[in-house]
Structure 1
Amino acid sequence: MGFFKRLKNVVDAKANKALDKCEDPIEMLELSIVKKEKLLQDAKKQCANFIASVDSIRNEKKDIQERINKYEEATKAALLKEDVEKAQTFVKQKLDLETKLVSTESRIKDQEEQIQLIKNKIQDLEIEVSKMKSKKQELATRIDVAEINNEINETLAGLSDDHGINLDELEKKVTQKENYGKALEDLKPKNEDEILDEYINNSPVVDDKVQQELDRIKEQMKK
């Protein structure tokens, strides 16, 4: 494989990994979880403000009710004293407070309904965040397993960091170097002993029976 083609493979591999990282589903899911947790915190703060507001209105209702009771007692006292004018004034004040009490109770009811709606949304959001966190853990595990499998498959398919290394070609190159070494060894100057040893080792060995037959034939030819 040529140098430039190998370089292109390296660049392509790194670019693909960079894109995969940018599109990491775990990071995208984590970002969504962070946003929803922020919404959850804001909803809880809003709900706390509503609850505090209702508590204030309840205190206001309590004060109104106490004043209504006092005007009731004052009206009774005025009637006992036959002070009709005072009795009428107290009754009028009492009726105004009762009207205000009805309005206050209506405000409390509206606020409580808003609080319940927010609580329901908070509960739904908490369930959704919990599901997203579970899904994140599941996906993270699946991605880890998938990446390991992909690395193994890429290695087996010759698509990993070897970038198309051919083992047969490598073996041929090694064999060629070994043969070159042997050739150099054969070309080394030999001393006299080595030459004699080589001549002796390369000389044919004659079988005794064959030699005896040769001698017999030679003797017969002389006759």
Structure 2
Amino acid sequence: MGIFSRLAQLIKSNLNDLISKSEDPEKMLNQVVLDMNNQLVEAKKQVASSIADEKRLAKQFEQEAANSAEWERRAMMALRAGNEELAKEALARKREHDALVTTFKEQHTKQKNAVEQLKKALRMLNDKIEEAKRKKNVLIARKKRAEAQKAIQETMHGLKDQSAFETFDRMSQKIDQIEAEAEAGAEIQEEYTGDVLASQFANLEKRAGADDDLTALKRKMGLAPPEEVAAPVEPVQARVQAPAVPTPAPSQTEQDELAAALEELEAEQVQEQKKAAR
């Protein structure tokens, strides 16, 4: 094989490969349907022309039949007039028109059969085009669905890359660091630029509240004297007082629970005092 033949084959193969890669199924299908529609238009023109020829032959057949009848009428009229020679000439002309009638009748019959075949072929072509349109829509829908699935698969394949998840983790750590630095800055800002006196009073209020809770718990457990209640002012008239109902002594379980709660409050109070001392 010569070098030019190999070069021509190489160019042809590259062109075919390029054309195959550049083919878009949707565009190709639209073009095929467009070409079929153009063919249908041309076929309709041909069928219309054939129908026109059929009608023309039918009119010529009718005209020649009318001419034959007219010459026959003239021959009869010549016979009535006693002119046989003229009648023979009229009959000769009638035979000419009869021959044309036979010819046009045969042509009209053939043309009519051809028109019927063309109409049938035209209907079949139209049905094929409609079927092609429906198939085109189905194929285009399948193509779009396949492209969507391919895009999803490519996206999922890209998500499988660990670098993307590592980037998310790294950004999450960086955001945590930024939040911690912001909280630390706010704490330092409050510690060194805030109102120290107000802070001390706030701690004092917390300790006072803890002391009150501790005293109340001790009184509940019977470890501290009850809170003194101011005696109400009695009216002048003597009132009959009901006998006081003795308060039942707490059970051993309740005493244990109260002791545990007391220890917890004392521990919280110690922690508050340590925080205040810093």
For the aligned pair, the TM-score class normalised by the smaller chain equals 0.5 to 0.7
SS at match of 1:26: helix
Q: CA deviation at 1:21?
A: 8.9
Cα separation, 2, equivalents of 1:103 and 1:126: 34
Q: CA deviation at 1:113?
A: 2.5
Q: CA deviation at 1:103?
A: 0.9
**Which residue identity lines up with residue 103 of structure 1 in the other structure?**
T
Q: CA deviation at 1:84?
A: 1.2
Q: For the Cα contact (< 8 Å) 1:158–1:165, is it kept in 2? A: no
Question: Do the aligned partners of residues 73 and 177 (structure 1) sit closer, same or farther apart at CA in structure 2, a change above 3 Å counting?
Answer: closer
- Give the equivalent residue in structure 2 for 1:129: 129
Cα separation, 2, equivalents of 1:34 and 1:163: 45
Cα separation, 2, equivalents of 1:177 and 1:20: 51
Q: Which runs of 5+ in 2 are unaligned?
A: 1-18, 193-278
Question: Do the aligned partners of residues 111 and 164 (structure 1) sit closer, same or farther apart at CA in structure 2, a change above 3 Å counting?
Answer: farther
Q: Which runs of 5+ in 1 are unaligned?
A: 1-18, 195-223
Question: Do the aligned partners of residues 167 and 27 (structure 1) sit closer, same or farther apart at CA in structure 2, a change above 3 Å counting?
Answer: same
Cα separation, 1, equivalents of 2:87 and 2:20: 84
Is 1:57 aligned to 2:57, yes or no? yes
| TM-score, normalising length: structure 1 | 0.64
- Give the equivalent residue in structure 1 for 2:5: none
Q: Deviations over 1:68-126 (max 9, x none)?
A: 11111111122222211011101100001000111111221222222122212211111
Identity %: 21
Q: Deviations over 1:166-190 (max 9, x none)?
A: 312442365368669979x99xxx9
Question: Do the aligned partners of residues 57 and 43 (structure 1) sit closer, same or farther apart at CA in structure 2, a change above 3 Å counting?
Answer: same
**Which residue identity lines up with residue 167 of structure 1 in the other structure?**
F
Is 1:175 aligned to 2:160, yes or no? no
| TM-score, normalising length: structure 2 | 0.53
- Give the equivalent residue in structure 1 for 2:74: 74
Q: Report which of the two structures shows the higher radius of gyration computed on alpha carbons.
A: 2
Cα separation, 1, equivalents of 2:163 and 2:83: 114
Q: CA deviation at 1:34?
A: 0.6
- Give the equivalent residue in structure 2 for 1:47: 47
Q: For the Cα contact (< 8 Å) 1:43–1:122, is it kept in 2? A: yes
Question: Do the aligned partners of residues 104 and 168 (structure 1) sit closer, same or farther apart at CA in structure 2, a change above 3 Å counting?
Answer: same
Question: Do the aligned partners of residues 64 and 180 (structure 1) sit closer, same or farther apart at CA in structure 2, a change above 3 Å counting?
Answer: closer
* 1:138-153 aligned within 5 A: 138-153=138-153
Question: Which is worse superposed, 96-105 or 142-151?
Answer: 142-151
Question: Do the aligned partners of residues 101 and 35 (structure 1) sit closer, same or farther apart at CA in structure 2, a change above 3 Å counting?
Answer: same
SS at match of 2:30: helix
Cα separation, 2, equivalents of 1:23 and 1:44: 31
Is 1:32 aligned to 2:9, yes or no? no
- Which runs of structure 1 show a deviation greater than 6 angstroms over 4 or more consecutive aligned residues? 180-183
* RMSD across aligned positions (CA): 3.3
**Which residue identity lines up with residue 171 of structure 1 in the other structure?**
D
Cα separation, 2, equivalents of 1:172 and 1:115: 80
Cα separation, 1, equivalents of 2:89 and 2:75: 8
Cα separation, 1, equivalents of 2:180 and 2:45: 85
- Give the equivalent residue in structure 1 for 2:164: 166
Q: For the Cα contact (< 8 Å) 1:158–1:164, is it kept in 2? A: no
Question: Which is worse superposed, 46-55 or 145-154?
Answer: 145-154
Q: CA deviation at 1:165?
A: 4.8
Q: For the Cα contact (< 8 Å) 1:72–1:90, is it kept in 2? A: yes
